[in-house]
Amino acid sequence: FELAKELQALRKRGVLMIGSGNMVHNLRMVNWQKLNEPGFAYDWATEINETFKTLIVQNNAPALIRYEQLGTAAQLAIPTPEHYIPLMYTMGLRNKKDEAMLFNDLAIGGSLTMTSVKLG
């Protein structure tokens, strides 16, 4: 919570914040033969990506923080959290009036998504 306050203070001063990571990032399960087929995704990757996008639009940071409780699809999508954590910083920057715009919503290799979020 303290970090969110500090990030908000920087935002109020006009500092541009950029977070880089992936919501669905399981390199162990990438289908390398389908890497050049944009949009190919495993069912679990599509399911959790849709869940994450809904939670982001709803500004439901608590559910995003406790992603492990979102089931098997979330556990497959985030085998280790280092690529997911930047989303938490981004959500910490969000004001109640900020709308979330989702773009670059593309799956790659079955188990990676490149979904991006813009707040404001």
- Residue 84's contacts (CB-CB under 8 Å, 6 or more residues apart) are 21, 22, 23, 25, 67, 78
pLDDT of residue 5: 81
| Domain assignments of the chain as residue spans, ordered by start | 2-119
Report the amino acid identity of residue 29.
Answer: M
**pLDDT for the residue numbered 71:** 97
Burial of 89 (0-12, 13-18, 19+ CB in 10 A): middle
Query: Which pLDDT score is estimated for 58?
Result: 94
pLDDT 10s per residue in the chain (120 long)?
A: 677 788 888 888 988 888 778 899 999 999 999 999 988 999 999 999 999 999 999 999 999 999 999 999 999 999 999 999 988 888 888 888 889 999 999 999 999 998 999 887
User: In CATH terms, is domain 2-119 a member of 3.40.830.10?
Assistant: yes
pTM for this predicted structure: 0.88
Cβ 25 vs Cβ 112: under 8 Å? yes
Q: What is the pLDDT of residue 1?
A: 63
Nearest to 104 by CA among 87, 120, 116, 90: 116
